[in-house]
Amino acid sequence: MFADRLETRPFARAMLGSFAELVRGAGNVRVGDVGCGPGHLTAMLGDLGLDAVGFDLSAAMVGHARRANPSLGFVEASMEALPVEDGVFGGVLAHYSMIHTPPAELPAVLAEQVRVLAPGGLLLASFFATDAADPIRFDHKVTPAYSWPVDAFAELVSDAGLIPFARLVHDPASERGFLDAHLMARLS
């Protein structure tokens, strides 16, 4: 399903490239890909010069990622409890992985991502966006998911202690009609 590694998604690819460039420029090239799934973006981060490790709750996804990318590290773990020390990562990628988190639980997930970021570290979160006033729950092939108003998502990121500084919202890539959103934030 993910073999194209973003070849058909130029905006997501551009944000991932910008994220990698900014992380490299800050000096700490260790990054965590939370909710890495089959590891295709973890591999892209490695190709972009970052020391990437992938985390996923699914043992099957971690197993697939390890087989597909034997030179990279993949760990079975929850986004709410990453098995790493505080402040180790120069960046955290959450590419459509937080979409399955119920709104009331999202602050805890963001707090964990903040915990593992080094000062100046970056978060790149990609998610489905909506123009509605509140998050919208919808059926997804994996498990229920949520589409977020971009300003509300950015506010949660800010409340977690990060400073949002870049966002890209563009036409939908899905049949559901939600917008695609990418938000980058920095730990002060």
Beta strand 89-95 with 179-187 is unpaired
Q: Residue 94: is its pLDDT beyond 90?
A: yes
Which CATH superfamily hosts domain 10-187? Vaccinia Virus protein VP39 (3.40.50.150)
Output the six-digit token pair for 177. Answer: 């009609």
Beta-carbon contacts of 141 under 8 Å, excluding residues fewer than 6 positions away, are none
What is the b/e burial string over 74-96, where b = at least 16 CB atoms within 10 angstroms of the residue's CB? bbebebeebeeeeebbbbbbbbb
Range name among 77-91, 127-141, 148-162 with the lowest pLDDT average:
127-141
Query: How many whole angstroms from its chain centre is CA 104?
Result: 18
- CA 113 – CA 123 distance, rounded (Å): 8
pLDDT at 173: 57
The per-residue pLDDT for 106 is 97
pLDDT of residue 2: 52
User: 């892209």: which residue's tokens?
Assistant: 44
What is the structure's pLDDT at 5?
A: 56
In this prediction, residue 135 has a pLDDT band, given cuts at 50, 70 and 90, of: very high
For the chain, domain boundaries: 10-187
Predicted pLDDT of residue 178: 85
Query: Has residue 36 got a pLDDT over 80?
Result: yes
Question: Taking 80 as the threshold, does the pLDDT of residue 169 lie above it?
Answer: yes
Mean pLDDT, residues 150-154:
97
